């Protein structure tokens, strides 16, 4: 068998082959999922510990308000949680489908998640330029490293990596998170099973409905022939961070393990203010990777890696985040390729240095702060710009002209 060349480029490194099933020792009882990292405070955190109860007409009004103004009053608009039953969720979709004033906009612009087990509808409409730019910068960097791998190993990796596609803000339909039979058997193995893996799916009200669950990650990598992505990315802040264990668990269980890794880019962020008085702004930034850990009888969501690459003081902390190349290609696809390709893929990682992540974050911060502080370079204003009339304004003017002409004719005025 061939082995990876020893002179591999510095941006990629070799990793040992994974142990096979026969190498595994009996697993201990499933440990509880790790606690979420401490949250930075933000307005409304205490008030939003539970989803808000809102009616279907209330949700429609919220959506129309967002469509008209681009935002709405909510303490956490990037992660607004509402308690919505399965029946209410179907009713919401039906009403949106029948309302032409919001239908196209909802399907094209609205980012949301829905969990039938938790009866929770989450609007993800408040991402800042910071989070959007950070995600974009990191995704571009990963794509560049994949392109470099294709160029350096065209024979072994060129074909297989050509099938790896990137997408952003694409909704992923999920299957019911658990079925009651398999869940009961796992709870017998471990009576102290974590509540994330022992949530019961709701009974469907009618057999013709598919499971309504879905999530919309900030980014994903998917193989062209695969039903599901193999890796998803979330960019988080205080409200979303609290729910990351559950989010990762839903991705894994809802795709039956087709998603192999959930990568979270986390930023503690305090918006800049001129003449700030008080505590200095938060500056900590980290990246974490969630995976399914294999046990003889089951698999469980586990926080595998967590890297702090920017400290609370804003300093760079050296290190490397390694993503195995096998995270980008489904195992069923990988098995169809020659042995040399399989060996190289199993021993290759895409590495993101903390310095690269630090640079990507600083660029995103610069973009964001130029926007909200209005201190970026601007063109001279020049001549006034005459705004075009909207179609509705033109229609009203034509209508007024017709009425005026009709009045003149009725009164005998030339």
Q: What does pTM read for this prediction? A: 0.68
Q: Is residue 275 included in any domain, yes or no?
A: yes
Residue among 31, 21, 28 nearest 302 (CA): 31
Answer whether residue 293 shows pLDDT above 60: yes
95-104, 239-248, 314-323: which has the highest mean pLDDT? Answer: 314-323
Q: Residue 261: in which H helix or E strand, if any?
A: strand 261-267
Task: Give the residue, 127 or 241, on which the prediction is more confident.
Answer: 241
Most confident of 39-48, 293-302, 317-326: 317-326
Q: Indicate the helix (H) or strand (E) that contains 147.
A: helix 129-152
Q: Between the ranges 59-63, 228-232, 406-410, where is the mean pLDDT highest?
A: 228-232
Q: Is 112 exposed, middle or buried, given 0-12, 13-18 or 19+ CB atoms closer than 10 A?
A: middle
Most trustworthy range by pLDDT among 113-117, 279-283, 331-335 = 331-335
Q: What is the model's pLDDT at position 192?
A: 46
Residue 73 in any domain: the answer is: no
Per the prediction, the chain carries an average pLDDT of 77
Q: What is the DSSP string of 67-93?
A: HHHS----S-GGGEEEE--HHHHHHHH
pLDDT at 159 over 60: yes
pLDDT at position 166 is 96
For residue 23, pLDDT beyond 50: no
Q: How confident is the model at residue 14 (pLDDT cuts 50, 70, 90)?
A: very low
Say if residue 21's pLDDT is above 80.
Answer: no
Minimum mean pLDDT range among 66-70, 219-223, 382-386: 66-70
Does residue 45 have a pLDDT over 50? Answer: no
Is 307 part of a structural domain of the chain? yes
Q: How far apart are CA 40 and CA 270, in angstroms?
A: 9
pLDDT (tens digit per residue) in 232-280: 999 887 556 778 888 899 999 999 999 999 999 998 866 655 555 555 5
pLDDT of 289 above 90: yes
**pLDDT over 70 at 9, yes or no:** no
In a domain, 381, yes or no: no
146 domain-assigned: yes
Least confident piece of the model among 33-47, 51-65, 388-402: 33-47
Residue-level pLDDT at 211: 63
Q: Is the pLDDT of residue 186 over 60?
A: no
Residue 7 contacts by C-beta under 8 Å, 6 or more apart in sequence? none
Domain hosting 259: range is 12-34+127-372
Is 50 exceeded by the pLDDT of residue 11? no
Is position 66 within any domain? no
Domain count across the chain: 1
145 has a pLDDT exceeding 70? yes
The per-residue pLDDT for range 60-74, each reduced to its tens digit, is: 988 888 888 766 566
Phi, psi of 57 (to 5 degrees): -60, -35
Average pLDDT value for residue range 312-327:
95
Q: Between 107 and 404, whose confidence is greater?
A: 107
Structural domain includes residue 205: yes
pLDDT, position 374? 73
Tokens 């009164």 label which residue?
411
Does 1 fall in a domain?
no
17 against 233, higher pLDDT: 233
Task: Please give the pLDDT value at position 401.
Answer: 73
Cα atoms in the 13 Å half-sphere on the side-chain side of 386:
1
Q: Which pLDDT score, from 0 to 100, does residue 408 have?
A: 60
Spatial CB neighbours of 357, under 8 Å, sequence gap ≥ 6: 138, 285, 287, 309, 310, 321
> What's the confidence (pLDDT) of residue 355?
98
Proportion of the chain above pLDDT 90, given as a percent: 38
Please work out, in degrees rounded to the nearest 5, the angle formed at the alpha carbon of residue 196 by the alpha carbons of 329 and 305: 50
Please indicate whether residue 216 or residue 352 has the higher confidence score (pLDDT).
352
């Amino acid at each position: 068998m061939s082995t990876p060349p020893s002179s591999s480029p510095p941006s990629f490194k070799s990793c040992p082959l994974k142990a096979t099933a026969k190498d595994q020792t009996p697993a201990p009882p499933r440990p509880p999922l790790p606690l979420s990292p401490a949250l930075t405070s933000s307005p409304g955190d205490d008030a939003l510990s539970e989803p808000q109860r809102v009616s279907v007409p209330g949700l429609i009004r919220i959506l129309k308000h967002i469509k008209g103004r681009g935002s709405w009053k909510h303490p956490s608009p990037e992660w607004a949680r509402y308690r919505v039953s399965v029946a209410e969720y179907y009713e919401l979709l039906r009403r949106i489908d029948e309302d032409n004033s919001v239908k196209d906009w909802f399907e094209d612009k609205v980012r949301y998640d829905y969990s039938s087990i938790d009866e929770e509808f989450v609007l993800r409409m408040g991402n800042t330029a910071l989070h959007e730019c950070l995600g974009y910068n990191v995704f571009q960097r990963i794509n560049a490293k994949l392109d470099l791998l294709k160029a350096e190993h065209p024979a072994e990796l060129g074909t297989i990596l050509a099938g790896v596609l990137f997408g952003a803000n694409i909704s992923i339909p999920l299957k019911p998170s658990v079925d009651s039979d398999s869940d009961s058997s796992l709870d017998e193995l471990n009576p102290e099973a974590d509540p994330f893996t022992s949530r019961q799916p709701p009974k469907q009200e009618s057999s013709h409905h598919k499971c309504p669950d879905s999530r919309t990650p900030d980014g994903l990598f998917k193989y062209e022939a695969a039903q599901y992505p193999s890796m998803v990315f979330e960019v988080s802040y205080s409200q979303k961070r609290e729910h990351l264990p559950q989010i990762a668990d839903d991705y894994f269980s809802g795709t039956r393990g087709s998603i192999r890794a959930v990568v979270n880019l986390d930023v503690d962020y305090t918006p800049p203010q001129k003449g700030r008085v008080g505590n200095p702004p938060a500056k900590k930034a980290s990246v974490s990777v969630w995976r399914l850990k294999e046990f003889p009888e089951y698999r469980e969501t586990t926080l595998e890696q967590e890297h702090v690459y920017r400290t609370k003081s804003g300093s760079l902390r050296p290190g490397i985040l390694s993503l195995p190349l096998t995270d980008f290609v489904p195992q069923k696809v990988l098995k169809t390729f020659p042995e040399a390709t399989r060996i190289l893929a199993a021993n290759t990682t895409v590495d993101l240095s903390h310095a690269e992540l630090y640079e990507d974050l600083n660029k995103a911060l610069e973009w964001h702060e130029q926007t909200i502080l209005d201190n970026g370079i601007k063109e001279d204003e020049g001549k006034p710009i005459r705004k075009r009339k909207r179609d509705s304004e033109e229609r009203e003017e034509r209508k007024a002209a017709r009425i005026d002409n009709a009045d003149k004719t009725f009164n005998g005025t030339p």
